[in-house]
Each structure stands twice: as structure tokens, then as C-alpha cells.
Amino acid sequence: MRARPFMTVALVAILLIALVALSARVCADGGAMASAYRTCSCQGVEWTVYDRTAADGPRRTLCFGVVRSTACYASRGGPEVPCR
């Protein structure tokens, strides 16, 4: 039986995409409508989704890797509050 290099490369690409999609976690989020602002410590790659302009809405980042810890604040620089 002949090896199919295209099928092998396609299968590896699909598995890598699935692995990245399953490892994505919301890291920094919130601050809208007087909600708590959540930050985190990401071991991996942290990607900023929003926070380009004020019209984009609250800041949100995705962590591709392991989220080591999270903390919640009343505002971006405000006092720490319990996370829900």
C-alpha cells in the first residue's frame, strides 16, 4: 500500500488545530456593566481579542496554554474582590 503524504499532513494539521482549540481559555475578561474585571496568569501564549478602541468593548484575552491563577478586581486598577 502506498503512503499518502497529503492525507498524513492534513491529519496532523487537523489534530494540531483541535489541540489549540481545546487549550484556549478566556483569561482577562469583564469590566462591562459594572461587573468585576478578571485577570489571570497564563503559562503559554496570551492573545488580546479586544481592547483596540473604546468601541470594541471590555478587554478580553485568550490563553493558549495553562491558566496558573486568576484574580478579580472591582475595576482595572481597583481593589480585589472574590471571583464568581
- In the chain, where does DSSP find H-type helix? 5-23
Split at pLDDT 50, 70, 90, the class of 12 is very high
Confidence of residue 4 (pLDDT cuts 50, 70, 90): confident
- pLDDT score at 15: 93
Is residue 70 within 8 Å of 38, Cβ to Cβ?
yes
What is the tens place of the pLDDT at every residue in 28-78? 787 666 677 888 888 888 888 875 556 555 678 888 888 888 888 887 777
The model's pTM: 0.60
**pLDDT for residue 7 is more than 80:** yes
Q: Specify whether the CB–CB gap between 36 and 73 falls below 8 A.
A: yes
| Domain residue extents for the chain | 24-81
pLDDT of residue 14: 93
| C-beta of residue 67 within 8 angstroms of C-beta of residue 40 | yes
> What are the grid coordinates assigned to 78, written together?
481597583
